[in-house]
Every structure is written in structure tokens, then in C-alpha cells.
Amino acid sequence: MRLLLVCLTLFATQALASDFEGVIISKTVSADPGKGGLQAMVLSLSPTGVRVEVTVATGQRGGPAGDFRSTMVWSSAAPSTSYLLNAATKTYLKQDLPQTTDAATDSVKVEKLGKTSFLGRTVEKVRVSDAGHPPREYWVDTSLRFPAAARSVFSMGRNTKSGAFAAMEKAGVMGIPLKDVSADGTSGWEATSVEQKHLPASTFQVPSDYHEGKSFLDMMSPDQQAAMQQRLNGMTPEQRAKLEDMMKNSK
């Protein structure tokens, strides 16, 4: 999930930027909008925690449509744990966050493309090229930065795949990305709104009426399971086995 990976790896450290508290809403950019997959994300940031709400289209062209929505919450009060929520079934899945590892930047090339306006904000455009990966463009609002509490969780689990973001920081491009697209602009994601506002601590907590699920599949409603089964039926045996194993072992 590239959208979620970007938001959990790129963070700011510059002293002149202001810590961001509020909500950033994003949508998928795709040359094939009828295709299933991640469609939208709502990212809530505060010194108290992080909340990521995603909408995934489970329907395929020619098949039944449907959306699966899930939410990840993290609180600075429990920094080594995150919770995956499903409002449809009022369930949650507890997840231990991985340890931080260093990101490799030696093979990454960062090219600054200049500044432009996006959503009424000034952003810096950057093209990042890495050996073995297609080049991508990032539009970064350098006037904003992630809160310190959020930066600590965003850095957890870093590996060589996040080398692009570490390289951008090294090149002096530090802030919150508002757009991440392929070099030809046909795939990726972009923010649709940026709202700065105070968020209550309850935003980043598991609701008291939720119960713990045993696995990702256990969290899904019958309708969501049916939509997921429809997607599984369209996969190759290898793809299906891999996805089923991943869901059964998500704990």
C-alpha cells in the first residue's frame, strides 16, 4: 500500500516549519479509475497520535462493487503498538510495530524540479529515481512538518524501501508530501484537502464498544467477506494463496 507507506516514512525536521495538527484527505490518481484497490485516505495528525482511514474498492470491473474501510490508530501513550479498526463489525486488531532500521540512500537520485502551487499551497516538486524502481514525483509542502509524536511512529520499521524518503531529507526536501505520482502521472495519490485543527485524544483511541479480533478475516462483515471472496476468485492460485496466508497470519 504505497499511499500508506509514504505517509509512514517521510517526516520533517526543519526548525522553520510548523508542526501540523489536523486532517489531510487524499485520493488515488489512476489511469484506470474503474480498477479496484485503494481509493482514498484520511490522515489525522496530532501530538497525541496518528489515525489513518483508508477506503479500498473490493469490486472488479464486470463484478459486484463494494468498498472496504478500515482505520489504523496509534497513540503516543502506547508508542510500540497500533490498532486496526473496522467500524462495520466494531472489531480491532492489535499490532506490534517493527523496530527501526536504517534506510539505504546510496542508489537514490533526487532531482529538484522547482516550486509550484497545489491546493493553494506552495510545494516543492521532486523526482526520485532508485535502481530497480520506476522514478516517481513527490510534491512536498515544506512549510509543514509532522508532529514529534508522529515522527517517532513514522520512522519505525524503516528499511531500504524507504531510502527514497531518507534521500529527500538528505537533499533538504523536508515536509509533508501532498502528492506522490509516477513520472508519467498515471498512478499514485494526491491530497484533496488540508485542514489544520485541534483533534481530541479520543481520535487516536480504540472505542470502548469494540472487541478484539483474532485475524484480519475475523474483522470483516459477511458482506465484506463475500466481496473479498469475489476478488480472490479472480486471482491466480499463487496470488490467492499468498493473500490468504497474509490475512490469516495478520495478528
Question: Which residue ranges make up each domain of the chain?
Answer: 2-248
Worst-scoring range by mean pLDDT, 98-112, 165-179, 180-194?
Answer: 98-112
Contact 151, 161 (CB under 8 A): no
Tell me the pLDDT tens digit for each residue of 69-117.
789 999 888 888 889 998 888 999 998 877 655 555 667 899 999 999 9
Question: Which residues, 6+ apart, have CB-to-CB distance to 37 below 8 Å?
Answer: 28, 56, 57
Question: Which residues, 6+ apart, have CB-to-CB distance to 212 below 8 Å?
Answer: 91, 92, 93, 94
Q: What is the DSSP letter of 1?
A: -
Q: How confident is the model at residue 30 (pLDDT cuts 50, 70, 90)?
A: confident
The cell for 86 is: 473496522
pLDDT, averaged across the chain:
77
Domain 2-248 CATH (choose: 3.50.50.60, 3.40.190.10, 3.30.70.1230, 2.50.20.10): 2.50.20.10
**To which residue does cell 502521472 refer?**
185
pTM over 0.85: no
**What is the predicted pLDDT for the residue at 108?**
85
Considering 12-21, 90-99, 172-181, the range whose residues carry the highest mean pLDDT is 172-181
Question: Which residues, 6+ apart, have CB-to-CB distance to 145 below 8 Å?
Answer: 11, 12, 13, 14, 17, 18, 19, 20, 151, 174, 175, 176
